[in-house]
Amino acid sequence: MKTVQLRKNINTDWEYLSEKIDLKEPLVLVFGNRYMLESDTIYNDIKNLFKDGHIVFGSASGDISTQSVNDDSITITAIEFEKSKFIIKTTNVLEGKSSIEIDSFKVGENLINELPQEGLKHVFVLSEGSFINGSQLTKGMNAATHDNLLITGALCGDAARFEKTISSYNENPKAGEIVAIGLYGDSLEISFSINGGWTPFGPERTVTKSKGNILYELDNIPALDLYKKYLGDKAKELPGAALLYPLNVKSVEDNNSIVRTILNIDEEENSMILAGDILENSKVQLMMTNVDNIVNAAEKAAINASETRKNKAELAILVSCIGRKLVLDQRVEEEVEEVMEVVGSSTTITGLYSYGEIAPFIGQNNCQLHNQTMTVTLISE
């Protein structure tokens, strides 16, 4: 595997972060600021750098490189697979549909079914993050693979604006796009791990009314009223403040707890819109964290992803959550530095801060939508 990495800030030209070498038909991952990716010339600009490249774009709430975490920038990571191959498929959830007509389960199932199954070792998914129901998307992808394929990925981000996310393959980025990158080859070794570092607090309550990803009532009390009561003065900062106080959800269907970010609130309905589904009769607690817990969780994720490997990772794709970034603030690079410390300086690191992380629970194969986690995917040939 060979890699090349470049970065461009708003007022600068492309700068090489690695040695400049020629790559043959590389996979070119482009993560960055949504405003910059909306440039009419962005695809052609990058095509001029990698003429035979397969270029995948995704807007981010911060782009991650081997050197740093940046907000007002674009990071390119170009990868030449020397012993294996990749196939890319896309779909757009907005073509001919309104956002309320999207069947996220079917979207996920159909997209994975487009990839040839023979020799498929891993799928990395870069999904639009504004309209999709990430819980149903992952369930559909699992249905296509009978829960027997490692799928990791991200819901694209848009800083903390939550206005619009964009992505694409070999064209200018656009809204509604989902990209699936299938990796093929016996020589591939792929491992992953996730970790959060958030701690539940306060009483455990029961979801008494919900629909999809909308939470209406906890213990028969309007959920938003209860949430505002816990936040106190911080309730004035909603919905932004909700990123710092997600929900720990214990599903009636599953033994695992999952963290759910609150994306928005509906004052009229007295409800909260979550990043993924929340089932009635689930148990819910508020969560909180601090910088040290988040940084330690990133280190644990990297250790867990590394300890099962036979070969050293050549590429690390990190997907972390916008909520973690807001907590880390000026210390945001610390969680990436912890991962680098574990995987080693010879491993190329790329990734993004997202609106949702896609990965299985540790020890499982069926992927889930997570929030507030660091997801580490390690790849070598």
Q: Does position 100 have pLDDT exceeding 70, yes or no?
A: no
In this model, does residue 122 exceed pLDDT 70?
Answer: yes
- Please list, residue by residue across 170-208, b when 16 or more beta carbons sit within 10 angstroms of its beta carbon and e when fewer do: eeebebbbbbbbbbbbeebbbbbbbbbbbeeeeeebebe
Cα distance between residue 136 and residue 134, in whole Å: 5
User: What's the average model confidence in pLDDT over 370-381?
Assistant: 96
- What is the per-residue DSSP string for 54-70? EEEEEE-SSEE-SS-EE
Q: Is the same domain home to 133 and 257?
A: no
Domain closes at, from 241, 262, 287:
287
Q: Are residue 30 and residue 139 in the same domain, yes or no?
A: yes
pLDDT band per the 50, 70, 90 thresholds, residue 11 = confident
Q: Do 176 and 205 belong to one domain? A: no
By the 10 Å C-beta count (0-12 exposed, 13-18 middle, 19+ buried), 295 is classed as buried
Mean pLDDT, range 106-123, rounded to an integer? 96
Parent domain of 248? 199-287
- The alpha carbon of 189 is separated from its chain's Cα centroid by a whole number of angstroms, namely 21
Last residue of a domain, one of 287, 318, 336: 287
- The reported pTM is 0.93
Residues 6 and 150 in one domain: yes
Which amino acid is located at 69 in the chain?
Answer: V
Residues 222 and 176 in one domain: no
Is 82 in the same domain as 141?
Answer: yes
- The reply to whether 69 and 184 lie within a common domain is yes
Residues 148 and 29 in one domain: yes
The CA-to-CA distance between both ends of the chain, in Å, stands at: 7
10: amino acid identity, one letter: I
Name the nearest CA neighbour of 295 among 340, 262, 359, 258: 340
Q: Tell me what pLDDT residue 189 has.
A: 97
When the pLDDT of each residue in the chain is averaged and rounded to a whole number, the result is 93
| Residue range 324-344, pLDDT digits in tens | 998 999 899 999 999 999 999
One domain, residues 60 and 168: yes
**CA–CA dist 31, 89 (Å, integer):** 18
Same-domain check for residues 25 and 166 = yes
Positive or negative, the CA dihedral 355, 176, 137, 220 is positive
Q: How many domains does the chain have?
A: 2
Task: Select from 265, 287, 309 the last residue of a domain.
Answer: 287
| 94, two tokens | 């907005």
Question: Do both 296 and 157 map to the same domain?
Answer: yes
- How large is the average pLDDT for residues 350-356? 96
User: What's 96's DSSP letter?
Assistant: T
Residues 212 and 307 in one domain: no
Q: Is the pLDDT of residue 96 over 80?
A: no
